[in-house]
Structure 1
Amino acid sequence: MRFNIKHEIRGRIRIHIFQKRMTYQQADILQYYLENTDGVITANVYDKTCDATISYKGDRKELLRKLQCFRYENVKVPTAVLDSSGRELNEQYKEKLVNKVIFHYARKFMLPMPFSAIYTGVVSAKYIWKGLKTLWQRKIEVPVLDATAISVSMIRGDFGTAGSVMFLLGVGELLEEWTHKKSVGDLARTMSLNVGKVWLRTEDEQEVLTDADVIKPGDCVVVHMGNVIPFDGTVLEGEAMVNQASLTGESVPVRRVSGNTVYAGTVVEEGEVVFTVSSVGGSSRYEKIAAMIEDTEKLKSGLESKAEHLADRLVPYTLGGTGLVYLLTRNATKALAVLMVDFSCALKLAMPISVLSAIREANRYKITVKGGKFLEAVAEADTIVFDKTGTLTKAKPTVAKVISFGRHSEDEMLRLAACMEEHFPHSMAKAVVNAAKQKGLDHEEMHSKVEYIVAHGISTFVNDHKTVIGSSHFVFEDEKCKIPQGMEEKFEQIPEEYSHLYLAIDGELAAVICIEDPLREEAPEVIRRLKDAGFTKVVMMTGDSERTAAAVAKRVGVDEYYSEVLPGDKARFVDKEKAAGRKVVMLGDGINDSPALSAADAGIAVSEGAQIAREVADITIGIDDLYSLLALKYISDELMKRIRCNYRTIVGFNTGLIILGVAGILQPTTSALLHNTSTLLIGMRSMKNLLPE
C-alpha cells in the first residue's frame, strides 16, 4: 500500500492512502487489518478522505513495514464483519440529518404560508395518530403529550410552533435511532465469532484440526467441553450441556443429544458432541445477538430504566399542570407554556444515548459490554476478585522445562502432553501445545476419548495405558498416582518458582512440566489505581499452592488471597460477598472461572481465555494488559456521573422554563424552542466520549 504521513506525534500517526476513492468495504478491510495488527491500540479509517489514524505502542518501523505490506485482496476478513459493518449506516444517517435540516428551513422561509400550514397538518397526523393509539391502550405516556402540544398549537393557528416542535422531535428521533443502531451493531459485531480452527471428523473417524474457512454444510465437526460451537447444525452423536446465554439470555445450560439443533456461539459446558453443519455464515449469529440486545430489558442499567419509567410517569402531571394553570389564570398562552415543556422527551432521549455511547466508547478500548446494567455494576462495585493465571499473570505462559521421571524422553513426554492438552482451551494448555509445536513434535491422535475434569486435569488411555495430566491434587490425591521409586529426591528439587503440570502413566509419575507464568508488569500499579478508584477489597484466587499464591499476592498488593481453590470455591466466595451486601466484580479467563463469572454482579473475561468464560461473562477485555480494566472503571464511573448530571440539568432547566412561561415572561413558541433545543443539546452531549482522547 502506498501512503504518506500527514501528521505524527509519539504513539500516534495519521496517514493518507494514495487511491482515488475508498469504498466502504475497503475501509472495513483496512480497519480490520489495523485492529488485528500487533502493537496497534486503536485505529480509525476515513473512507471519504482515504485517511487513517493509528494509535500504537512498540516499534514504529515495524508498524510502517506492515502498512507497506498491506493489500486489500490478501486480508481474510470474517464475513460477519463486512456484512454487518456500521460504516454505511453512519453515512446514511448523516445524510438523513443534513437533508432534514435543509428541508425544514427551506420550507420555513421559501414555502408560502398556506402551503406550509397544509404540510404541517399532513405531517402532524403521524404524531396525533401515535398519541391516540397510546390513549386507546389506556396509557398516558410521551406520545400523548407530543400529540396534545402539536394539536393545541394547530387549533390556535400557530403552525410555526407546531412545525418547530415536530422538526425537533424528528431530529431527536433520528439521533436516537442512529446512535441506537450503531451502538447495537458495534456490540453485536464484537460479540460475533472469529473462529480460526475447528475439529473436523473425517470419513475414517479421525479428528483433524482444520481451518474454519474450509468447512461447508454437511461436514461433521467435533466440539469438546469448554469450547464454542462454531456453526449452526444438528447433533449427530454425543451428549452435552450447552450454555446458550449469549443468544437467549438463559443462564441454565440445556441438554443436547442426537437430533437436537445447536447454534453458533453457544458453548459446551459439559460433555462432547459431534454435529452436522447446516450453516457456515455468520449473519444468523449476528442477527440473533442484535435482536437479543435490542429486546432484553434486563440489560438496562437501573438509572436508565428509572429515567425511562419516570419520563412516562411525569406525563399525567404535565397534562394536569396545563389544565390547572388554565383554570387558575384563564390564559391559554400560559397554559400552553406548561404543555410545550415536559421532562419526558429529554429523559427518554438522553439516558439511553448516554449508555449506548458508553458501550460504544468501551469498544474503542476493545472492551465488549453486554448491557448498561453491567457498567452500572462496575461503577458501584466495592469488591473485585482476580483469578491469577492468565489475568494477573501473562495470558501466554510458556514451558520452561520438562522433567522426566521414567524411561521416556522429555520430548516424548511433551509430545504426549500436547496431544492431550490441545483439545482444551486454557492458557497453560496452550503453553504446552505451543512448546511442542516449536520443537516440531507433531503427532497423530494417540489416545482414546479424553475426559476433562474441570479445574483438575485430563484423563485418557494411550495404547491401553491410563494416562492423566493435571494438578498435584488431581494426580496424587484423586488418581492416587505414586512417585517412581528412587525419584523422591529429584521430585523435591522441582523449582518452586514455576507452575507445574503433572503427567502420570499407569498410576506412576512420568513427567513434570514446569510452566513459566510471569506476572504482568502493570498488575501492581493497576491494583493500586483500582483501590484509588473506589474498590475497598481486592482479592486473588488461584489453584496454585499456598507458597506460590503468597508470593504473587505480596508482589501485586491484593488485600486477600486464597490458594488451591476449586471453581465452586470461587463462586461461593462471590455469593458470600454479595450476601454481605457488597457489589462484586470477578475477573477470570478459564473454564473453571465460569461459575464465579456468572455469580458476580459483573463478570469480566480476558479475551485470550477460554471461550466459555468469554460467553458467560458480562464484559470481555480484549487488550493484553490490565490498563483496559482501568478504562472500564473510569468509563463506568463517568457514565453514572453523566446520567445524574443529565437528570439534574433536565429537571432544573425545564422547571425554569415552566415557571417563566406561567409568569408570562416566555411565550409558548419560545418555551418549545428552548425546551427542544436543550433536549437535542443534552442528547448530543450524551454522545460525546466520556474519557479524553
Structure 2
Amino acid sequence: MKFMIKHEAKGRMRIHAVQNRMSYAQADTLLYFLHSQKEVTFAKVYDRTCDAVISYVGDRQTIIELLRGFHYEDVEVPEGLIENSGRELNNTYQEKLIGKIVFHYARRWILPYPIRICLTSLRSVKYIWKGLTTLAAGKIEVPVLDATAIGVSVLRGDFNTAGSIMFMLGIGELLEEWTHKKSVDDLARTMSLNVGKVWLVSGGQEVLVSTSQIKAGDKVVVHMGNIIPFDGVVAEGEAMVNQASLTGESVPVRKTVESTAYAGTVVEEGELTILVKEVGGSSRFEKIVKMIEDSEKLKSGAESKAEHLADKLVPYSLGGTILTYLLTRNVTKALSILMVDYSCALKLAMPISVLSAIREASLYNVTVKGGKYLEAVAEADTIVFDKTGTLTKAKPTVVDVVSFNGESTDELLRIAACLEEHFPHSMAKAVVDAATQKNLEHDEMHSKVGYIVAHGIASTINEKRAVIGSAHFVFEDENCVIPEGEQAKFDALPKEYSHLYLAIEGKLAAVICIEDPLREEASAVVQSLKRAGLSKVVMMTGDSERTAAAIAKRVGVDEYYSEVLPEDKASFVEREKAAGRKVIMIGDGINDSPALSAANVGIAISDGAEIAREIADITVSSDDLYQIVTLKLLSDSLMERIKKNYRRIVGFNSLLIVLGVTGVIQPTTSALLHNSSTLLIGLESMQNLLD
C-alpha cells in the first residue's frame, strides 16, 4: 500500500493512504489487518479521509514495513465481518443528523414565512395523527402530549414553537434509533459465530479442519459442549441442544436424525453429525439481531420504570394544563405546562444510557447481552468464582507424564491427546498442545468417545477400554487400580500440580501432571471487587481440599468449596439467592453451565467452553480478570447516571413549569429550553462512563 505519514509521535502515527477514495469494505479490511498485528495496540481507520491512526509497541520500522506490504486483496477477512461491521450504519446516521440540522436552519433562514407555515402544518399532521391514534386506543401517553403541544401551537399561529418542538423530537428519535441500532449490531456481532475449526467426516474418520474448507453437503461432527457451526440436518446421533441464542428459550431441545440444526446453537448433551445445508454466516447475524430486537433482554428495570413513569405522567401534564387555564384563563400560562413534559426526556435518556453502556463495555472486550444484566451486576453482593481457567490462568501446561504401565511417556501422551482433543476444556487443551509441541500425531484410533461432565472421558482403543479424567472418575466410578508395585511411585507424585489420570483396561497407565498457575492479578481483583461493594467472594473447584485451600488462601476469598460437582455449584447459587443475596457466577467450562444459568448474572470466560458462553449473560476475555472489576465499576456508574438523569430531568422541567405558570418565560422559551435540555441530556448519556 502506498501511504504517507501525516503526523507522528512516539508509539503513534497517523497515515494517509494514497488513493482516490476508500470504500467501507477497504476501511474494514485495513482495520482488521492492523488489529491482527501483535505490534499494534490500537487502530482506527477513517474511510472519508483515507486516514488511519495507529498506536504500536516496538520498532517504528516494523509498522512501516507491515503497511508497505499490505494489499487489500491479500487479507483473508472472516466471513460476515465487513457486511456487519457497522461502519456504513454510523456514516448513514451521521449524515442524517447533519442533514436534519442543516435543513431545519436553512429552511428558517431561506424560505419565505408563508411557505414555512405550510411546511410546518404538513409536518404536524404526522404527530397529531399519532396522538389521535393513541387516544383512540384508550391510552393517554407521550404521543398524545406531543400532539397536543404541536396542535395547540399551530392553532394559535405559533408556527416557530411548533417547528422547534418537531425538530427536537426528530433529533431525539434519530439519536435513540442510531444508538439502539449500533448497540444491537455491536451485540449481535459479538454473539456471532467465532468457530475456527470443525470435525469433518472424511473417509470414515473425523478430521479437524478449518471452517473455511466446509461446503454444503459435507458432514461435520459436533461433540457435547460445542457450538453447531452451520445450518443443516442431523444425519446421525441424538442430543439435547440449547437454542437460547436464537429462540430465547433456555430449555434444551431434543434433536434426532432428520431434525433441523441451526448455526450458533450448542450441544448440551450427546453428539450430532450434521449434514451441512448452508455455510454463509449472514443468516446467523440476522437471526441474532431479530432475537435481540424482539427480546426484552435489552431492557433493564430502570428503563422499564422510566417508560412506565413517562406514560403515567402524561395525564398529569394534560390535567395541569387544563387546570391552569381554568384558574387563570390565560392560554399562554396553560401552554407553558404543555410545552414542558418529563416523559420525553425520561424516554430518551434512559435507553440511550443503557445501550451506550453496553457499547462501552465492548470497548473493554466485555460482551453484555442485555441492560438488565448491568443493573444486576450493580445490585450484586455475592460473587462465585470457578477456579480452573478463571482464577487460574486460561492456559495450563503439561509439565510431566508419569508412566505406570511400562509404555513410553510419548505414546501415553499421544493416546491422551487423541481422547482429549474432542472436548472443550482448558486441561484437555493443555494435553493436546503438549502432544503438538512434541510432534506426536494422533490420528483417530478409538471408537466413539463419551464425555462425562466434570469427571472424564471413556472410549475404546484397540478393543481396550480407555478412560481419562479425575481421580474420582478413574478410581471410584471406573474402579481402576494402580498396577502392582507402583504404589510408591503413585504416592510420590508432585503435590503442587493438578493430576489427570489415564487408565487402560482397568489399570492406571499414566498420570499427567499439569501446572495451572494462579493469575498474577487474581488476589488484587478479589480485593478490588470487595472494595467495589461485593461483600462475599466465593471460590468453587473440583480440585482436592489441599489444592483448594492453598489457592483460596493466596487469593483471599471469603469462602471456598472443594471437590464440587456441577450440581453442587448450581445448588449453592440457588441457596444464596433464596437467602436474598444477588449472585454473580463466573466460569469457563461445561460443568459451570448450570451455575451460570442459575445465577442472577452468569459471566463466562471467552476462551472457555462454547456452551458456557452461550448460557452466560456476560462474556469477558481471558486476558485479564480486571475486566470484571471494570464491569462492576461500569455498572455502578450506569446506575448513578440514571439516578442523576432522573434528578436533573425532574428538577429542571419543574423549574420551567413554575417559570411558565408565573409568566416569567413564554411558552416558546419553555419549549426551547425543555427540548434543548432533553437533547443535551441525551447526548451526555451517550458519553463513556469510565474515563
Same topology, TM > 0.5: yes
Equivalent in the alignment of 1:89: 89
TM-score computed with the length of structure 2 as normaliser: 0.97
> Is the contact made by 1:42 and 1:364 (CA closer than 8 Å) also made in structure 2?
no
> Is the contact made by 1:234 and 1:262 (CA closer than 8 Å) also made in structure 2?
yes
Q: Deviations over 1:397-418 (max 9, x none)?
A: 1111111101211000110011
Equivalent in the alignment of 2:486: 487
Give the Cα–Cα distance (whole angstroms) in 1 for the partners of residues 12 and 239 of structure 2: 49
Equivalent in the alignment of 1:469: 468
Aligned-residue offset at 1:89: 0.9
Give, as a single letter, the amino acid of the residue that structure 2 aligns with 1:273: L
Give, as a single letter, the amino acid of the residue that structure 1 aligns with 2:158: D
Equivalent in the alignment of 1:314: 313
Give, as a single letter, the amino acid of the residue that structure 2 aligns with 1:494: L
Equivalent in the alignment of 1:228: 227
2:255 is equivalent to residue 264 of structure 1: no
> Is the contact made by 2:4 and 2:18 (CA closer than 8 Å) also made in structure 1?
no
Aligned-residue offset at 1:153: 0.2
Give, as a single letter, the amino acid of the residue that structure 1 aligns with 2:532: A
Secondary structure, aligned partner of 1:510: strand
Secondary structure, aligned partner of 1:361: helix
Aligned-residue offset at 1:308: 1.1
Give the Cα–Cα distance (whole angstroms) in 1 for the partners of residues 353 and 80 of structure 2: 27
Q: How does 1:311-460 map to 2 (within 5 A)?
A: 311-460=310-459
Give the Cα–Cα distance (whole angstroms) in 2 for the partners of residues 6 and 636 of structure 1: 39
Equivalent in the alignment of 1:136: 136
Q: Which region of structure 1 is more displaced relative to structure 2, 628-637 or 423-432?
A: 628-637
> Is the contact made by 2:297 and 2:369 (CA closer than 8 Å) also made in structure 1?
no
Q: How does 1:271-670 map to 2 (within 5 A)?
A: 271-670=270-669
Equivalent in the alignment of 1:99: 99
Give the Cα–Cα distance (whole angstroms) in 1 for the partners of residues 275 and 214 of structure 2: 11
Give the Cα–Cα distance (whole angstroms) in 2 for the partners of residues 548 and 68 of structure 1: 52
Q: Deviations over 1:298-324 (max 9, x none)?
A: 441111110111111111111111111
> Is the contact made by 1:479 and 1:507 (CA closer than 8 Å) also made in structure 2?
yes
Give the Cα–Cα distance (whole angstroms) in 2 for the partners of residues 35 and 374 of structure 1: 29
Aligned-residue offset at 1:36: 3.9
The number of equivalent residue pairs is: 690
> Is the contact made by 1:402 and 1:513 (CA closer than 8 Å) also made in structure 2?
yes
Equivalent in the alignment of 2:159: 159
> Is the contact made by 1:80 and 1:192 (CA closer than 8 Å) also made in structure 2?
no
Q: Deviations over 1:379-404 (max 9, x none)?
A: 11111111111111111111111111
Secondary structure, aligned partner of 1:474: helix
Give the Cα–Cα distance (whole angstroms) in 1 for the partners of residues 630 and 588 of structure 2: 19
Aligned-residue offset at 1:85: 1.6
Give the Cα–Cα distance (whole angstroms) in 2 for the partners of residues 556 and 528 of structure 1: 9
Secondary structure, aligned partner of 1:288: helix
Give the Cα–Cα distance (whole angstroms) in 1 for the partners of residues 519 and 26 of structure 2: 37
Give, as a single letter, the amino acid of the residue that structure 2 aligns with 1:378: V
Secondary structure, aligned partner of 2:454: coil
Equivalent in the alignment of 2:251: 252
Change (3 A) 1:375 1:61: farther
Give the Cα–Cα distance (whole angstroms) in 2 for the partners of residues 573 and 580 of structure 1: 11
Q: Which region of structure 1 is more displaced relative to structure 2, 14-23 or 264-273?
A: 14-23
Give the Cα–Cα distance (whole angstroms) in 2 for the partners of residues 358 and 249 of structure 1: 22
Give the Cα–Cα distance (whole angstroms) in 1 for the partners of residues 552 and 604 of structure 2: 20
> Is the contact made by 1:2 and 1:68 (CA closer than 8 Å) also made in structure 2?
yes
Change (3 A) 1:648 1:79: same
Aligned-residue offset at 1:43: 3.5
> Is the contact made by 1:196 and 1:212 (CA closer than 8 Å) also made in structure 2?
yes
> Is the contact made by 1:365 and 1:623 (CA closer than 8 Å) also made in structure 2?
no
Change (3 A) 1:620 1:36: farther
> Is the contact made by 1:225 and 1:269 (CA closer than 8 Å) also made in structure 2?
yes
Q: Which region of structure 1 is more displaced relative to structure 2, 150-159 or 32-41?
A: 32-41
Q: Deviations over 1:304-353 (max 9, x none)?
A: 11011111111111111111111111111111100000011101111000
Change (3 A) 1:61 1:610: farther
> Is the contact made by 1:382 and 1:534 (CA closer than 8 Å) also made in structure 2?
yes
> Is the contact made by 2:17 and 2:51 (CA closer than 8 Å) also made in structure 1?
no
Give, as a single letter, the amino acid of the residue that structure 2 aligns with 1:94: Q
> Is the contact made by 1:42 and 1:365 (CA closer than 8 Å) also made in structure 2?
no
Equivalent in the alignment of 1:243: 242
Give the Cα–Cα distance (whole angstroms) in 2 for the partners of residues 377 and 4 of structure 1: 49
> Is the contact made by 1:366 and 1:623 (CA closer than 8 Å) also made in structure 2?
no
Secondary structure, aligned partner of 2:80: helix
Secondary structure, aligned partner of 1:81: coil
Equivalent in the alignment of 2:75: 75
Change (3 A) 1:655 1:571: same
Give the Cα–Cα distance (whole angstroms) in 2 for the partners of residues 125 and 99 of structure 1: 22
Give the Cα–Cα distance (whole angstroms) in 2 for the partners of residues 33 and 288 of structure 1: 27
Change (3 A) 1:71 1:167: same
Q: Deviations over 1:454-480 (max 9, x none)?
A: 000000001110000000110011111
* Structure 1, gaps ≥5 residues long: none
Change (3 A) 1:412 1:378: same
Q: Deviations over 1:211-250 (max 9, x none)?
A: 1012111111110100000011111121100001111111
> Is the contact made by 2:225 and 2:609 (CA closer than 8 Å) also made in structure 1?
yes
Give, as a single letter, the amino acid of the residue that structure 2 aligns with 1:191: M
Secondary structure, aligned partner of 1:161: helix
Give the Cα–Cα distance (whole angstroms) in 2 for the partners of residues 662 and 216 of structure 1: 71
Give the Cα–Cα distance (whole angstroms) in 2 for the partners of residues 19 and 605 of structure 1: 43
TM-score computed with the length of structure 1 as normaliser: 0.97
> Is the contact made by 1:501 and 1:515 (CA closer than 8 Å) also made in structure 2?
yes
Aligned-residue offset at 1:30: 2.5
Give, as a single letter, the amino acid of the residue that structure 1 aligns with 2:588: D
Give the Cα–Cα distance (whole angstroms) in 1 for the partners of residues 419 and 9 of structure 2: 48
Aligned-residue offset at 1:15: 3.0
Give the Cα–Cα distance (whole angstroms) in 2 for the partners of residues 359 and 40 of structure 1: 25
Change (3 A) 1:366 1:63: farther
> Is the contact made by 2:240 and 2:254 (CA closer than 8 Å) also made in structure 1?
yes
What is the alpha-carbon root mean square deviation over aligned residues? 1.7
Give the Cα–Cα distance (whole angstroms) in 2 for the partners of residues 57 and 499 of structure 1: 36
Give the Cα–Cα distance (whole angstroms) in 2 for the partners of residues 141 and 115 of structure 1: 32
> Is the contact made by 1:14 and 1:51 (CA closer than 8 Å) also made in structure 2?
no
Change (3 A) 1:119 1:685: same
Aligned-residue offset at 1:558: 1.1
> Is the contact made by 2:299 and 2:370 (CA closer than 8 Å) also made in structure 1?
yes
Secondary structure, aligned partner of 1:324: helix
Give the Cα–Cα distance (whole angstroms) in 2 for the partners of residues 67 and 304 of structure 1: 46
2:651 is equivalent to residue 675 of structure 1: no
Q: Deviations over 1:583-621 (max 9, x none)?
A: 111111101011111111111111111111111100011
Q: Which region of structure 1 is more displaced relative to structure 2, 223-232 or 105-114?
A: 105-114
Secondary structure, aligned partner of 2:448: coil
Equivalent in the alignment of 1:178: 178
Give, as a single letter, the amino acid of the residue that structure 2 aligns with 1:144: V
Equivalent in the alignment of 1:218: 217
Give, as a single letter, the amino acid of the residue that structure 1 aligns with 2:633: Y
Secondary structure, aligned partner of 1:297: coil
Q: Which region of structure 1 is more displaced relative to structure 2, 91-100 or 71-80?
A: 71-80
Give the Cα–Cα distance (whole angstroms) in 2 for the partners of residues 242 and 157 of structure 1: 63
Q: Deviations over 1:237-273 (max 9, x none)?
A: 2110000111111111110111111111110000011
**Aligned residues: percent identity?**
70
Q: Which region of structure 1 is more displaced relative to structure 2, 83-92 or 25-34?
A: 25-34
